[in-house]
A and B are shown apart, each in its own frame.
Chain A
Amino acid sequence: MEESAKKEDKIKEFELAALEHIDSLFNVGMRMTRNREEAEDLVQETYLKVHRFSHTFKEGSNLKAWLFKILRNTFINTFRKKIREPKEVHCNEVEDFYLFHKIKSDRASEDYPSGSSTDIYEFLEDEVKNAVDNLPIAFKEVVLYSDIEELSYGEISEIIECPIGTVKSRLFRARRLLQKSLWNYANERGYLKEKQGGRK
């Protein structure tokens, strides 16, 4: 009887530990589904699976990565979405340090008062969110895991069941695309500012 009580406690402990990551799961769920209700369903379903499959979790392995893997599989099953690498991604034209160079040259050629110049700290929440959301899903997820959840390449490779090389190449290409679309947003906004300023 004592034995079973111990096991019970262990499970409770495990589930509590899993619940500590709920914000991370919900955030990634939000970005993956782009819909609050669906994200809630996804997270709920994920925790039911966590409960059901808790015995398959190997003690000592990475709980967060394990949770993300379940979330990802639930997402694929529920929304019948396939997470495939997009066939054509035009990111070759985006050179290294794309945004860095753009912003630098923008500043150099600047002839309007300082303060309205493009600064990466100026990116609006929506701009960053949209830029991330609009990435192809196979790219989006690696950005979420790496930049936002700060998981290691090894953990990501475990979650998406791909070799580390694939994780790297997707991540690097994803970041280039992200920089490009961030620049586009900044540019659009800068343009608007300029126009408004001109009218005054």
Chain B
Amino acid sequence: MTTCNEAIEQLHEFLDNELDDGNHSTIKQHIEMCHKCCEKFEFEQNLKKIIKNKTFLHKTPQPLLQSIASQLADLEEERSQPEQIVLEPKVRHHTGIFGFFTLRPAFVTMAILLPITITCLAVYLVFLRPTGFSPIVQVAAERHDSFVNDNMRLDLVSSDRNEISRHFKNLQRSNLAINVPECNGRDTKLLGCKDSSFAGKRSAYVGLSGNHNKISLEMVNGSDMNLNKLNHEIFKGKSYHFGKYKGYNVVLWRQGKTLYSMTSTMNRRDLMRVASESIR
């Protein structure tokens, strides 16, 4: 005999048709005999039906059905193309170069970008790298850049060599090298001067124009800046160091205790000629 407890324990399995035939009929017999259990079982069964009936009510929208059906038909057509009669999954194994491109986008990207990067780097190193680059060259070039672009305010605007010399002399406290270029002959002309500092040291700045190019001249007294890293060249018996930055040529040399730096877009040779002619 099945007890009520035993029957109720198997209620869900009974209603879900999960019991084997033997157990199912045993429970069924009990329910038929036991009014209490029958009531409960019927209740739960009805509830199950109600949940189904009140929840299962969505018909698939017709447009969705049509779109899926036509999509499947399209895919079918694709698959039944002569080459693709094989009914294997549509994981394509491309071979050769196409396989490489479809399967490994990351590699493709690398394969394209890497040579470009290397080429750019090579071009930069061989052709564009500032020869003899050094912080001094950079400072000089940037100073000149602001002069060329009229971003620099000169202390004195004058083309008179003596006036500029006087201006520097008046700055008694300074310990500036005063060797204002002589601008005789040629097309070099003084534009003005400025009390300045160069790479951490006090300096005298003179702006010039020559051959339609502006020239910056910086004079630093007792500078211990190291020029050895820069390439150098002997011109008219004097050793000139040179560098290039942002398209500006910078020529540096020492004369006594003074470091001179001349910057311009003019080529190095012209710059050295102007230097040797105007500074004695």
Q: Tell me if A152 and B18 are in contact (CB < 8 A).
A: yes
Q: Tell me if A55 and B51 are in contact (CB < 8 A).
A: no
Task: Kindly identify which residue among B39, B47, B72, B79 contacts A47, using a CB–CB cutoff of 8 Å.
Answer: B72
How far does the alpha carbon of A52 sit from the alpha carbon of B67 in the complex, in Å?
17
> Which of A21-29, A65-73, A76-84 contacts the other chain?
A21-29
Q: Which of A40, A53, A56 has the most CB of B within 10 A?
A: A40
Q: Tell me if B60 and A43 are in contact (CB < 8 A).
A: yes
How far does the alpha carbon of A8 sit from the alpha carbon of B65 in the complex, in Å?
21
How far does the alpha carbon of A31 sit from the alpha carbon of B16 in the complex, in Å?
21
Q: Tell me if B69 and A7 are in contact (CB < 8 A).
A: no
A:139-157 near B, CB below 8 Å: 143-144, 146-148, 150, 152-153
How far does the alpha carbon of A165 sit from the alpha carbon of B61 in the complex, in Å?
36
Q: Tell me if B16 and A146 are in contact (CB < 8 A).
A: yes
How many residues in A have their beta carbons less than 8 Å from beta carbons of B? Answer: 51
A30 at the interface (CB under 8 A from B): yes
Shortest CB-to-CB span from B72 to chain A, Å, is: 5
Kindly report which residue of chain B lies nearest to residue A96, judged by CB atoms. Answer: B8
How far does the alpha carbon of A179 sit from the alpha carbon of B51 in the complex, in Å?
11
Q: Tell me if B71 and A8 are in contact (CB < 8 A).
A: no
Shortest CB-to-CB span from B19 to chain A, Å, is: 11
Shortest CB-to-CB span from B64 to chain A, Å, is: 5
Q: Tell me if A143 and B54 are in contact (CB < 8 A).
A: no
A114 at the interface (CB under 8 A from B): no
Shortest CB-to-CB span from A18 to chain B, Å, is: 9
Q: Which residues of A contact B75 (CB under 8 A)?
A: 48, 51
Do A178 and B51 contact each other (CB < 8 Å), given the known contacts A26-B60, A30-B58, A55-B87? yes
CB-defined interface of A163-182 with B at 8 Å, one 1/0 digit per residue?
A: 00000100110010011000
B115 at the interface (CB under 8 A from A): no
A129 at the interface (CB under 8 A from B): yes
Q: Tell me if B50 and A121 are in contact (CB < 8 A).
A: yes
Kindly report which residue of chain B lies nearest to residue A10, judged by CB atoms. Answer: B87
Do A100 and B68 contact each other (CB < 8 Å), given the known contacts A153-B18, A171-B12? no
Do A148 and B55 contact each other (CB < 8 Å), given the known contacts A4-B85, A53-B89? yes
How far does the alpha carbon of A63 sit from the alpha carbon of B214 in the complex, in Å?
86
Shortest CB-to-CB span from B145 to chain A, Å, is: 54
Shortest CB-to-CB span from B182 to chain A, Å, is: 80
Q: Tell me if A52 and B55 are in contact (CB < 8 A).
A: no
B101 at the interface (CB under 8 A from A): no
Residues of A at the B interface (CB closer than 8 Å) are 4, 7-8, 11-12, 15, 19, 22-23, 25-27, 30-31, 40, 43-44, 47-48, 51-53, 55-56, 96-97, 99-100, 120-121, 123-125, 127-129, 132, 143-144, 146-148, 150, 152-153, 168, 171-172, 175, 178-179
23 contacts between A and B (CB under 8 A): A8-B76, A19-B68, A25-B60, A26-B61, A31-B55, A40-B64, A43-B68, A44-B68, A47-B71, A51-B75, A52-B89, A53-B89, A56-B89, A99-B43, A100-B44, A120-B47, A121-B46, A121-B50, A124-B54, A125-B54, A144-B55, A147-B52, A150-B52
